[in-house]
Amino acid sequence: MNNLFGELSGQQAGMIGLVFVLAIGLGVGYDQFVAYLHKNKLDAGYTAILVAAGVVATLLLCLPFIGLYSSAIVLFMFIGTGTPMLAGDIWRYMKQRQAEKRQAAQTIKDLVDYDHTP
């Protein structure tokens, strides 16, 4: 079988199809895991990490087809593009939590200091 990338044997195409079905199964299972975390409010501040884990899983599924050397290069590039996003997401979450804590403290202070006289 000839494709955009060169020759692809029927066996290779079958293996790609099999790994693709595995990828769908893993994706469905991972979605259920993320849904569980979200339902139980355990995912706050971890969205970027959850995405990065999915990227690593996809790269691992590609490993048999592109080899260790190419996988290492792709992983290295994902680290380059993903690290700023991960750090930014964590930073934004920390700032949001600080703002929420300040707001809660201010609300408590306002309630304590409230003048009840008519």
Q: pLDDT (tens digit, 9 = 90+) per residue, 38-50?
A: 999 898 888 889 9
Structural domain total, the chain: 1
Does residue 118 belong to any structural domain of this protein? no
- Which long-range contacts does 24-30 make (Cβ < 8 Å, 24+ apart)? 26/57, 26/61, 27/54, 30/54, 30/57
Does residue 54 belong to any structural domain of this protein? yes
The three-state secondary structure class of 72 is: helix
Question: Which residue has better confidence, 74 or 115?
Answer: 74
> From residue 2, how far is each of 9, 12, 91 by CA, in Å?
8, 12, 48
Predicted confidence (pLDDT) per residue in 6-25, tens digit: 677 788 888 999 999 999 99
Res 3: pLDDT: 55
Q: What pTM does this model have?
A: 0.72
Does residue 52 belong to any structural domain of this protein? yes
The residue segments making up the domain with residue 100 are 2-113
Does residue 6 belong to any structural domain of this protein? yes
Predicted confidence (pLDDT) per residue in 88-115, tens digit: 999 999 999 999 999 999 999 888 887 7
